A and B are shown apart, each in its own frame.
Chain A
Amino acid sequence: MTSTVGGRSPGLALPKSELLEMYRQMVLIRRFEEAAAEQYALGKIAGFLHLYIGEEAVAVGAIHAMDEGDHLVTHYRDHGYALALGLDAGPCMAELFGKSTGLVGGRGGSMHFAAASKNFWGGYAIVSGHLPIAVGLGLASRYLGERRVAVAIFGDGATNAGPFHEAMNLAALWKLPVLFLCENNLYGMGTAVEYASAVREMAKKACAYEMPAERVDGQDVLAVYEATKAALDHCRSNKGPYFLEALTYRFRGHSMADPEMYRTKEEVEEYRRQRDPIVLFRNRLIQEGITVMAELDDIDRDVDDIVAAAVRFADESPEPDPQTVTDHVYAGSARAS
């Protein structure tokens, strides 16, 4: 098991446009989530809202490493993944507002983004429940002779639940192209990892299934990118599944209603100051001479505009048509094939 925690990521071999795109996406996620928090406080967003603030590097790095055809299923902290996939901020915000123009027509909400066109088969709200589904996606890929990898995003808490273990075993047993990408942000809801898991390092759990595993610095977008790429290559070449643990941190509570009694303000502050992935990347890009602050500031401003427009779009969009409330219960019988 390799680890890049604390180490420096490999060189910045990607073209500048891609690097800037990654930066842009991270900022977009950050601003989007901040705007969402504000709109929630204003009562425009209801229910659960799980913010990705602080974890942006994982989604951006991972998505960037994936092929367009790869499958994706995630947990409920899924806004970052939707944006990293390139889905427009407007429909994403509208989904949070429960409008008909939302990503899934206002029927899913924050926890259930999805986009079949991007092979993003959903955010799921039952912790670890989607992991067996990822196994099935990997199974389909192999069965159909495709070279797609099924990428499953989940948190540290999920690794203690039954479905995780069943999925890991199946994927390893059948040598399926599944990437288990664990976002270890050190807390499962309100419980720190050390109170929930017998093993502190999630990656160690993979050895129970003889699955190769790796830990990576989840605040380093390029490290995430490189590690994911390597893992995907492994899966794609029929070597079976791979387990990747991204060590990250969420700067906000688990969800909006979280008073965060389970960690200290000092700890959070520490992470904000030292381990903000956007700041870290920004600094890296400037230090390595890829770009200058002004260019990044421009990107920041563009993103601000995009997010503001997304909020306006969501505000002005209509609610779903009441007539459609009973639609889509069944998909119906198969078309003639």
Chain B
Amino acid sequence: MAREITYRDALREALREEMYRDERVFLMGEDIGHYGGSYAVTRGFLQEFGPERVRDTPIAELGIVGAGIGAAIGGLRPVVEIMTINFSLLAIDQIVNHAAKLHYMFNGQFSAPVVIRTAAGFGQLGATHSQTFEHWYAHVPGLRVVMPAVPKDAKGFLKSAIRGNDPVIFIEHSLIYRNRGEVPDDEDFLLPLEGAEVRREGTDVTLVSWSRGYYLALGAAEELAREGIECEVIDLRVLRPLDLDTVVRSVQKTNRLVVVEEGWRTLAMGAEIAAAVQEQAFDYLDAPVARVGSLEVPMPYARNLERLVVPNKDRVVEAVRQVLYRRQSVSVS
């Protein structure tokens, strides 16, 4: 049975259910225990599961992630929380040079089934606290990278990630924790960590995004529908491995593609998607692939400047018009 809950609650459910199901599952991270988690995902968990299984750590991302890897090799199922994806850079050596490599480099003898939960997001937080790096991790073979947009995927992915045998970078977003959606309450509700989903069908243009960007795309689609432009909106969901087939099939139908991403466009997911689409659907493109991303500057603090930097619905709408060769909108009052 499905009921409507928030993204945050979907994560909480996933964690609790998996912790009850398997004693080897435990949590590690900064402020996850006594503080209840900087995004309140683990509130109450310390009281419920105790300090061995809900482990507050010092501020030492590299050490924490490494310990998570070691614990996983040693037979546990750790879920390590890195407060924001900005700080994951401190642990990137552990993630890329260790977790991602073990299984391949040691010829399949063992792996590091560690789940690293982290969050993108912004909100006048300054340059070093407002970035997003999903594409850095999506670049690396050996990692699974997911960035669910809707609560259902958040829960299904997290449970699968915990039960799986690969290191998973599980990227949430601080601005969508309150978003609501239908989520099954089945304790064995698992979603395989693969596949993009067409969430809105359309014929005129394909919009691809993920996480918070998906909601931007959806908003743009609704606005454009009032002008008679029907957007097909795809939630990418999983960034590695990337489901390009779904995107390509859509582009074959609409002949146009706009990728909406929150970070800087240069060398990001949109660049990969555009390259792949022109490889696989070259003869279906009526316009170059458009990518909507952040202005190529470090994030400023001032609100008006931040607004200029981060993509918004209007920029998405503009990009759609561009690939449709429309100069201006004609709306119905």
Residues of A whose CB lies within 8 Å of any CB of B are 71, 73, 104-105, 107-108, 112, 114-116, 121-122, 124-126, 129-141, 143-144, 150, 162-163, 166-167, 169-170, 173-174, 327-334, 337
Contact = CB atoms under 8 A, between A and B. Distances in A.
Contacts of B58: 166, 169-170, 173
B115 to A, nearest CB: 12
A136 B72 contact: yes
A107 B63 contact: no
B219 interface: no
A170 B144 contact: no
Contacts of A331: 103, 108, 111, 113, 164-166
7 shortest interchain CB distances as A-B pairs? A136-B70, A132-B66, A140-B74, A166-B63, A331-B165, A331-B111, A133-B70
Most-contacted residue by chain A among B52, B107, B109 (CB, 10 A): B107
B311 interface: no
A334 B111 CA distance: 11
A108 B66 contact: no
Contacts of A166: 58, 60, 62-63, 66
A114 B73 CA distance: 13
Given A107-B107, A169-B58, A327-B108, A334 B165 contact: yes
Interface of B: 22, 24, 26, 52, 55, 57-58, 60, 62-76, 78, 93-94, 97-98, 102-111, 113, 141-142, 144, 160, 163-166, 192
B26 A143 contact: yes
Given A129-B66, A166-B60, A137 B71 contact: yes
B66 A329 contact: no
B93 A135 contact: no
A9 B62 CA distance: 38
A129 B113 contact: no
B104 A329 contact: yes
Contacts of A115: 109
Contact of A163 (B62, B107, B160): B62
A334 B62 contact: no
B74 A132 contact: no
Contact of A139 (B70, B105, B166): B70
Nearest to A131: B66
B164 A333 contact: yes
Q: Is the interface of B mostly helix, strand, loop or mixed?
A: mixed
Most-contacted residue by chain A among B64, B72, B105, B165 (CB, 10 A): B105
Contacts of A170: 57-58, 60, 63-64, 67
B165 A329 contact: no
A121 B73 contact: yes
A136 B63 CA distance: 9
B73 A329 contact: no
Contacts of B57: 170
Nearest to A114: B106
Given A107-B105, A139-B76, A331-B103, A133 B93 contact: no
A140 B166 CA distance: 18
A123 to B, nearest CB: 10
B141 A329 contact: yes
B21 to A, nearest CB: 9
Contacts of A124: 98
B138 to A, nearest CB: 14
Nearest to A178: B70
Contacts of B103: 328-331
A105 B73 CA distance: 20
Contacts of A116: 106, 109-110
Contacts of B69: 132-133, 136
A82 B69 CA distance: 22
A167 B72 CA distance: 16
29 contacts: A105-B107, A107-B107, A114-B110, A116-B106, A121-B70, A121-B73, A126-B97, A132-B64, A132-B66, A132-B69, A132-B70, A133-B73, A136-B72, A137-B74, A140-B74, A143-B26, A143-B71, A144-B76, A163-B66, A163-B93, A167-B63, A169-B60, A170-B57, A170-B64, A327-B104, A327-B108, A330-B142, A330-B165, A332-B164
Contacts of A114: 106-107, 109-110
Nearest to B68: A136
Given A330-B142, A331-B108, A333-B164, A144 B75 contact: yes
A328 B110 contact: no
Given A137-B71, A167-B63, A170-B60, 9 more contacts: A129-B98, A132-B64, A132-B66, A132-B70, A133-B98, A135-B70, A143-B52, A163-B66, A328-B107
Contacts of A130: 66, 98
Contacts of A174: 55
A328 B104 contact: yes
A259 B93 CA distance: 29
B104 A135 contact: no
A75 to B, nearest CB: 13
B193 to A, nearest CB: 8
A36 B58 CA distance: 43
Contacts of A112: 105-106
B42 to A, nearest CB: 18
A235 to B, nearest CB: 14
A77 B211 CA distance: 44
Nearest to B65: A132
A136 B165 contact: no
Contacts of A136: 66-74, 78
Contacts of A129: 66, 93-94, 97-98
Contacts of A143: 24, 26, 52, 71, 76
A147 to B, nearest CB: 13
B58 to A, nearest CB: 6
